[in-house]
């Protein structure tokens, strides 16, 4: 069985950072993973999406249309752009699913949404923290881990 995750947003919102962290966590958990990205006009605030597939044996990095299990959208404007990839019964996570009033820095919304997604995946919380600690420079590490934990708590 393969689980399909798509993260979508606008250039500069950390879509690729989130999927890099996600792929590393899943790899360290022992899964076969494949990852693909579409940058588009990301440097100008255009659409960006990245796909992560994981399971025992994953043949392709691309999520087939209508087979996304988890769709994480960092900018609500992108829901219409990618919602056709979500399977029936799939889970859509948007900024409305996390407590944005607790967001200490708008640039950490990606990490808060990753925290919300994390409770739905078969990965130990300690491993999330380990990978997050290595993914961010020291000056923004604590903030991103805090935002991840807030997102995680909100989704429980």
pLDDT (tens digit, 9 = 90+) per residue, 120-156?
Answer: 999 999 999 999 999 999 999 999 999 999 999 999 8
Greater model confidence, 37 or 118: 118
94: left (phi over 0), alpha (psi -120 to 50) or beta: beta
**Whether the Cβ atoms of residue 37 and residue 19 lie closer than 8 Å to each other:** yes
Q: State the number of CA atoms in the 13 A half-sphere of 80 facing the CB.
A: 1
pLDDT (tens digit, 9 = 90+) per residue, 71-113?
Answer: 999 999 999 988 999 999 999 999 999 999 999 999 999 999 9
CATH number for the segment(s) 2-155: 3.40.920.10
- pLDDT for 39: 60
Could you say which DSSP state residue 73 is in? E
Instruction: Provide the residue ranges of all domains of the chain, joining segments of one domain with +.
Output: 2-155
């Amino acid at each position: 069985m393969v689980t399909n995750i798509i993260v979508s947003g606008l250039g500069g919102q950390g879509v690729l950072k989130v999927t890099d962290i996600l792929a590393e966590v899943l790899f360290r958990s022992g899964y076969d993973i494949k990852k693909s990205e579409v940058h588009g006009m990301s440097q100008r605030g255009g659409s960006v999406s990245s796909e992560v597939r994981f399971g025992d044996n994953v043949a392709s990095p691309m999520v087939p249309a209508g087979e996304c299990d988890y769709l994480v959208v960092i900018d609500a404007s992108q829901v219409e752009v990618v919602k056709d990839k979500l399977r029936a019964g799939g889970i859509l996570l948007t900024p409305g699913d996390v407590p944005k009033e607790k967001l200490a820095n708008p640039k950490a919304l990606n990490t808060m949404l990753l925290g919300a997604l994390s409770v739905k995946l078969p990965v130990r919380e300690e491993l999330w923290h380990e990978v997050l600690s290595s993914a961010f420079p020291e000056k923004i590490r604590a903030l991103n881990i805090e935002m991840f934990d807030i997102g995680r708590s909100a989704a429980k």
